Structure 1
């Protein structure tokens, strides 16, 4: 979609038609200035605020931005064009960036917990020289920044409390998922008997699906004045299923993806993660193969990692994954047809088409 830019003098610049993606990108610098520069009047805060500017620029805008863009994308499906005023669009862009801030907060903290190496094609923030565990405080800043933006841009809107509630509740759900993830696979304590498909799906639901899929669409629904619990539950059923589909893709790409394309070096094997690959492998492998997995899984050395990958290949995990991907996509189509009764199905189909057969 394109948007006709209104100039400061109130005239329309007919040549400056920007896509949602371009509008979204352009909004980021404005929000950085909003978060940093309004406090620069206190000279004692200059160093801290400059640090926060660096935190924002390094950690927030580098991803695919599907979560943030899904707010304005969904809102365009939920509201008629006549209601998509410049103010409405601008607020949707802000809420989208708030989701990207929440994502950055989770990722900075998660990379510390997992001792990850790269993120989005660059060193994880905590691995940058001079950062280290100070990144914990930086993650707190990223979280608090989103609520400052919500307050400034949405406080006078009827959906403001709904947004506050869904952001805080989604954060809690994600923390629950991360807790279960950490408890299921504590560092240095490899116990494959803790892994099961049921536990895996619970981790995925809470750690990924709520904030990555339900949050953007639910935020757009509230902004469109849709507060009915039945409609939100229908949307949630579709989007949590989609989130599971997305995370299984992520697990596959962690092992079999190209780091030059994905932007990160996969470490699920080394980190003893309860991933779809290991859970599925445990369902189909022989006792002898399980012995190899137990000897090598969760170890940091390259030889052990390569043995696990070789085991996955011998179990034809790539074929099993592609079979799952196709079945899951067909299941999603049926779920959308059944549940998207009063909501435009395009809200969900647009999301599904973005992630189906992705390679990063």
Structure 2
């Protein structure tokens, strides 16, 4: 099973080399200099293929499920291109998000804007070592390759790089899908989902502004809006909708069943399952950030000290007493041992890191103790059980029996309709996960 998963990933990764070369070659034909071409290549290699690739591979898996057979080489390439377009969209979001959040690392390496700038060539004027006083620097020219030269970071050029990651999506769609009937639908999907995700990012940013801790802005309704728009649409709905369009599934179709005919709207059905599925996934993430040990999670959770509008804090706010709420207000979103309002709270001598594996010191510890006191683990277990039951009921409601017919009652051969396994595969991947 593990080897099969690795083989599927390797085959998918091989397509990235194809699309990267297509993108760089297009820029070359546009007359970009070698330095810009090398920069673009490095941006693509650094930002796009390094993650889990679940979103992109899901496109391929969904196409295969909908067709009910192994894909031809041409079908696989097209599905994989769509998958990499989703990964390009993800990379666009992450590069921009890291700048907005002033993040330091991403995928165990420096965020792109902090990474060493690629394709640095010798400047037209000599450069002095970074240690040379400015007053005499003009008299101390050195090569850019000298040991004293401070290699610059990508910096704010990353903003333009993020734009190019997004624009690459539409170039690839034009190359690979323009002759196909689904081309406009694919374009509209990417435009629509990108806009929705940006809306979610806006709500997230104004809800928990940097340096401002105000739990009055938080609510489960606000959390759901952020989750649905910032995560669920592009992570769950987009891969499946792209696969459905590639498989020529129409906006509606009729199924002849033993007890009569039924008209289905498959994209509405998919949305009704995938959005709550994405919400469930993010609630899991929020809970694991608090509850999973670092050795299982693979990192130390930081949602509490980072003032995140998390499912955990919003749920606890609805369960706690006024006294417990005061504890939350004094300690949530604080990196240190001193509560808000206490003497010395505004001192710069706060502890940036806590003790015993905590990310934020005593303030975070008090919040976690409160989470335990109100029984958050039990509440989450009940939420997960109810959501799993609800999602299975929605999936089971998709009719797979019967014959798909056109308006004349003739059997349709151009597509096989919706398959429960599309959604079941997503659900089983995330249900009960620990990391």
TM > 0.5 fold call: yes
Structure 1 residue 51 and structure 2 residue 39: aligned? Answer: yes
Q: Which runs of 5+ in 1 are unaligned?
A: 2-17
Normalization by structure 2: what TM-score?
0.74
Partner of 1:14: none
The whole-number CA distance in structure 1 between the counterparts of 2:434 and 2:43 is 27
Q: Distance in 1 between matches of 2:378 and 2:46?
A: 37
Tell me, yes or no, if the aligned pair for 1:121 and 1:263 is still in contact at 8 Å: no
Higher RCO (C-alpha under 8 Å, 6+ residues apart): 1
Q: 1:294 aligns with which of 329, 353, 369?
A: 329
Give 1:50 shift: 1.4
Residues 59, 259 of structure 1: alpha-carbon distance in 2 compared, 3 angstrom cutoff: farther
Counterpart in 1 of 2:173? 150
Kindly indicate whether the alpha-carbon contact (under 8 Å) linking 2:398 and 2:419 is maintained by their aligned counterparts in 1: no
Q: Report how far residue 307 of structure 1 moved.
A: 2.7
Shift of 1:272: 1.9
Q: Would you say the 8 A contact 1:119–1:263 is kept in 2? A: no
Matched, 1:125 2:184: no
SS of aligned partner of 1:132: coil
Aligned equivalent of 1:13: none
Separation in 2, partners of 1:184, 1:104: 23
Which residue does the alignment assign to 1:306? Answer: 365
Whether 2:206 is the aligned partner of 1:206: answer no
Do structure 1's residue 344 and structure 2's residue 419 form an aligned pair? yes
* Separation in structure 1 between the aligned mates of residue 298 and residue 268 of structure 2, nearest angstrom: 34
- 1:225 has 2:243 as partner: no
Query: Partner of 1:167 in structure 2?
Result: 190
SS at match of 2:156: helix
Query: TM-score with structure 1 length normalisation?
Result: 0.88
Partner Cα separation in structure 1 for residue 297 and residue 157 of structure 2? 26
Q: 2:51 aligns with which of 46, 63, 78?
A: 63
Whether the 8 Å contact between 1:71 and 1:217 is mirrored in structure 2 is yes
Which residue does the alignment assign to 1:104?
A: 91
Q: Contact conserved, 1:118 with 1:265, CA < 8 A, in 2?
A: no
What is the deviation of 1:297?
1.5
- 1:263 Cα deviation from its structure 2 partner: 5.6
User: For residue 65 of structure 2, what is the aligned residue in structure 1?
Assistant: 77
Matches of 1:291 and 1:167, distance apart in 2: 44
CA contact (8 A) 1:192 1:294 kept: yes
Matched, 1:134 2:193: no
Q: Report the counterpart of residue 383 of structure 2 in structure 1.
A: 324
Aligned residues between the structures: 343
| SS state at 2:203 partner | helix
**Alpha-carbon distance between aligned partners in 1 of 2:298 and 2:190, rounded to the nearest angstrom:** 27
| Cα offset, 1:155, TM superposition | 1.2
Going from structure 1 to structure 2, the CA distance change for 1:44 and 1:86 (only over 3 Å counts) comes to closer
Looking at CA atoms only, which structure, 1 or 2, has the larger radius of gyration? 2
Q: CA RMSD in A?
A: 2.2
What's the secondary structure of 1:284's corresponding residue?
coil
d(CA) in 1 for partners of 2:159 and 2:293?
A: 29
- C-alpha distance in 2, partners of 1:137/1:224? 34
Residue deviations 1:183-233 (CA, integer Å, cap 9, x gap):
111112222122111121111111111101110000000001012151100
CA contact (8 A) 1:214 1:236 kept: yes
In the TM superposition, what whole-angstrom CA distance separates every residue of 1:246-296 from its partner, at most 9, and x where no partner exists? 111121233334556656554322332211011011011121221111112
In structure 2, the CA distance between the partners of 1:258 and 1:209, relative to structure 1 (3 Å rule), is same
Structure-1 separation of matches of 2:309 and 2:54? 25
